[in-house]
Structure 1
Amino acid sequence: MSSEAEEASSMTWRDVPKSVWALGFVSLLMDVSSELIHSLLPLFLVTVVGAGTAVVGLIEGVAEATAAIAKVFSGALSDRIGKRKLLVGLGYGLSAVTKPVFPLAGTAWEVLAARFVDRLGKGIRDAPRDALIADVTSSAIRGAGYGIRQALDTAGAFAGPLLAMALMALYANDFRAVFWWAAVPAALAVLLVVTGVKEPDGVRGTATRGLPIHKEELGRLSPAFWMAVAVGVVFTLARFSQAFLVLKAQAEGLALALIPLVFVWMNLIYAVTATPAGILSDRIGREKLLSCGLGALFVADLTLALAPGLAGVFVGVGLWGLHLGFSQGLLSALVADTAPEDLRGTAFGLFNLLTGSALLIASVLAGWLWQAFGSTSTFLAGAVFSGFAVVMILVAMKAATRPAG
């Protein structure tokens, strides 16, 4: 074994670079800001603005699809200029400036516009950020790196709803007063990007010009990459927007002031499991843990569809969080594993474009099913898609282990 291989084999999660930790804390701060708003936004739309569930699904789907489309351009651009931090900072900054729009919004279309710009910022930053993590992290600890960033991100998604709940009590359920506080952690996140994130030396941009994706580049992406994309798409169809978890809890009688507990509980489990899942995936492979995550999502959807009362809601939401912990960081690591080094930004952009488009379809379908047939049909449809994804993973694993010839 060479000295480089020996050094790689001895690396642990403690060797994850400081820039990855900084990006994790940036994600934490922005998620505190975002979830402070998003944990209450479905109810704000329905009870204050007067929107229906189909409109909620449309807003969430359009917002996420916007992010997905932007990721293709930002990922490819980061490959070409060799400067990912610039795009990461721009994306976080754009999301930060939208936060004051939510407390001022008086119609669903104003909320849609704010969500559109906010998710545009997410689209600009996510693919370059994920590619930057791969740039600075050895393959031996890549799962750990993505797991740590995802865990810190999710800790923010856990803290945001808790803060929302406290502020709702303080301001006597005044949504608009609570929303104003989201600007503070968003501004801190942008400051941390500027001061705490460093790019590796010697990264050069590609010579490619013109369209963001070229036929030659697509030809260099392996079948393993496209299988990762396919699994991610079916994953997304199964889970749709988390706004429907909030609406399910309200429908089962959870008090308005306690609604953020849905996201608190989900993200607590998500945060606790993301890093161990990433570390374990470095040792035993990504596919086995992804199968576990899909199994958790299948049971979560069935529970939310069929189990009565708030007990069923919180069991289902907990399983939803478990599936996120065993899938989201692992999918990112799988993309990084299967993409050429100089096309990582492009690969993450393509992955997010296709999964984001799936989220648009899934969220609009979920909203329509809910409005037409009730919440049970929405979650049963999710269970069908998650079961299909389990089959896809098992087939892919069998093909990967089949002897050549």
Structure 2
Amino acid sequence: MVTAVLPLYLVLGLHLSPAAYGALDGLHTGATALLRLVGGYVADRVRRRKAVAGVGYGLSAFAKLGLVAAGGSLASIGLVVAADRAGKGLRTAPRDALITLSAPEASLGRAFGVHRAMDSVGAFAGPLVALAVLTAAGQSFDAVFVTSFCVAALGLLILFLFVRDHREARPPSGTVSPRAVGRLLRTAPVRRLVCAACLLGLATVGDGFVYLLLQRRESLSIGWFPLLAVGTSLSYLLLSAPIGALADRIGRLPVMLGGYGVLAAVYLLLHGPLDGPVLLGTVLFLYGLFYAATEGVLMALAGPVLPERLRTTGIALVQSGQALAYLGSSVLFGLAWQEWGGATASRWAAVAVVGVGVATAFLLRSSSPRSTDEQKGSPS
């Protein structure tokens, strides 16, 4: 709900410039990378991944109320956004580690596809609810934030009551330690994976920029803006599980690289030959396809490379590298938009995606599930 209206609230409501929005959006995702590492390490150390994830979800839930208390103060909003992303930093790696530890290795693509599809149900319904609340409350953003908090609190309750933790035997002394994390980073497959995640984050522009560029090109009214996220979520919802299963069959790396090729097409279409409903439908469908082919697939690609005892920490390393790079990407894109215009900025972003895709293919060329099976001597 909040993701759907926050760009509009900041740019149209508080009149932030593209550069200022880019800095805040980068903070929204990238500035909490350290907490991702802390959350991952603590979850592995205490073997309570569900509890660490719950703390992260709780922090993000209360941040919704913080947006109400912040009023129109940009500094206060920045702090609240940082708290919200701190919650995301704490929760994401333990949650994804639970998935990798609860599903067979050969089905990790399908498992993450199903998870992302379920997550997309909320992402699909959230903007619709936000639109309804805005309409009923006379375009009051505070009403959206309070409603979002109530929904988040309900989700947190369900997490603690019904979700099972994965509690393996206590690891031998020294297995989970800063020195062990350093050794993990020195292994070539993990090092290549983290480097690739950093490159991919650097070439990815935030959703808010994509939707704002669409809104400005098509002159969409405020009431229609949240529906842009609905279109992306619907595509993501329908495609994530089939794409995850496809990645298990033909290889996760080709599917992920194909997803970034789709992202390059999205950036080019933002100022391409299409317009009107055709442009909106095409971009939102392809944007959902991009997420379906990359977000869960990258975690499925990482799972078999990381040892079980440091699974959460390893996932946090990958996600933190991507988040820090995303911080730079958001700031750079915001500056480019402000200096050269949205059309030039989005075209250069497409060029960056293609270049990063080639570099990622080189880095991860031996990390596909098929190559891993062959190295282990597994039957095809």
TM over 0.5: yes
- The question of whether the paired residues in 2 share the 8 Å contact of 1:81 and 1:205 is answered with no
Q: How does 1:163-174 map to 2 (within 5 A)?
A: 163-174=129-140
Determine which of 354, 366, 372 is the counterpart of 2:339.
372
Aligned to 2:378: none
State the Cα distance separating 1:314 from its structure 2 match. Answer: 4.1
Aligned to 1:102: 67
Task: Return closer, same or farther for 1:229/1:173 CA change in 2, 3 Å cut-off.
Answer: same
Task: Indicate whether 1:353 and 2:320 are aligned.
Answer: yes
Q: Distance in 1 between matches of 2:73 and 2:125?
A: 28
Q: Which runs of 5+ in 1 are unaligned?
A: 1-35
Task: Return closer, same or farther for 1:317/1:382 CA change in 2, 3 Å cut-off.
Answer: farther
Secondary structure of residue in 1 paired with 2:271: helix
Aligned to 2:40: 75
Q: Deviations over 1:360-387 (max 9, x none)?
A: 0000111111111111122112201210
Paired residue type of 1:38: T
State the Cα distance separating 1:358 from its structure 2 match. Answer: 0.8
Paired residue type of 2:20: V
Task: Indicate whether 1:93 and 2:37 are aligned.
Answer: no
State the Cα distance separating 1:205 from its structure 2 match. Answer: 4.3
- The question of whether the paired residues in 2 share the 8 Å contact of 1:61 and 1:362 is answered with yes
Determine which of 183, 187, 202 is the counterpart of 1:216.
183
State the Cα distance separating 1:258 from its structure 2 match. Answer: 0.4
Q: Distance in 2 between matches of 1:106 and 1:60?
A: 17
Aligned to 2:201: 236
Q: How does 1:13-24 map to 2 (within 5 A)?
A: none
Task: Indicate whether 1:148 and 2:135 are aligned.
Answer: no
Task: Return closer, same or farther for 1:227/1:211 CA change in 2, 3 Å cut-off.
Answer: closer
Task: Return closer, same or farther for 1:296/1:85 CA change in 2, 3 Å cut-off.
Answer: same
Paired residue type of 2:206: S
- The question of whether the paired residues in 2 share the 8 Å contact of 1:234 and 1:385 is answered with no
Q: Distance in 1 between matches of 2:286 and 2:200?
A: 14
Q: Distance in 2 between matches of 1:351 and 1:202?
A: 23
Task: Return closer, same or farther for 1:391/1:172 CA change in 2, 3 Å cut-off.
Answer: same
Secondary structure of residue in 1 paired with 2:170: coil
Task: Return closer, same or farther for 1:212/1:158 CA change in 2, 3 Å cut-off.
Answer: farther
- The question of whether the paired residues in 2 share the 8 Å contact of 1:146 and 1:278 is answered with yes
Determine which of 122, 137, 141 is the counterpart of 1:175.
141
Q: Distance in 1 between matches of 2:172 and 2:109?
A: 26
Q: How does 1:1-400 map to 2 (within 5 A)?
A: 36-104=1-69, 105-205=71-171, 207-208=173-174, 211=178, 214-219=181-186, 221=187, 223-252=188-217, 253-307=219-273, 309-310=275-276, 311-396=278-363
Secondary structure of residue in 2 paired with 1:200: coil
Secondary structure of residue in 2 paired with 1:306: coil
Q: Distance in 2 between matches of 1:156 and 1:82?
A: 28
Q: Which runs of 5+ in 2 are unaligned?
A: 376-380
Paired residue type of 2:18: T
- The question of whether the paired residues in 2 share the 8 Å contact of 1:82 and 1:206 is answered with no
Q: Distance in 2 between matches of 1:82 and 1:203?
A: 9
- Number of aligned residue pairs: give it: 366
Return 257-266 or 337-346, whichever deviates more.
337-346
Return 390-399 or 349-358, whichever deviates more.
390-399
Paired residue type of 1:227: R
The percent identity for this pair of structures is 30
State the Cα distance separating 1:397 from its structure 2 match. Answer: 6.5
Paired residue type of 2:234: L
Q: Distance in 2 between matches of 1:381 and 1:213?
A: 40
State the Cα distance separating 1:308 from its structure 2 match. Answer: 5.4
Q: Deviations over 1:24-60 (max 9, x none)?
A: xxxxxxxxxxxx1121111111222232221111111
Q: Distance in 1 between matches of 2:315 and 2:168?
A: 21
Aligned CA RMSD, in angstroms, stands at 2.2
Q: Distance in 2 between matches of 1:200 and 1:184?
A: 28
Q: Deviations over 1:230-269 (max 9, x none)?
A: 3322322222211112211221201110001110111111
Secondary structure of residue in 1 paired with 2:203: helix
Task: Return closer, same or farther for 1:205/1:57 CA change in 2, 3 Å cut-off.
Answer: farther
Q: Distance in 2 between matches of 1:362 and 1:184?
A: 32
Secondary structure of residue in 2 paired with 1:100: helix
Task: Return closer, same or farther for 1:214/1:232 CA change in 2, 3 Å cut-off.
Answer: closer
- The question of whether the paired residues in 2 share the 8 Å contact of 1:77 and 1:212 is answered with no
Q: Deviations over 1:312-344 (max 9, x none)?
A: 344223212111111111001111121111111
State the Cα distance separating 1:67 from its structure 2 match. Answer: 3.3
- The question of whether the paired residues in 2 share the 8 Å contact of 1:236 and 1:358 is answered with yes
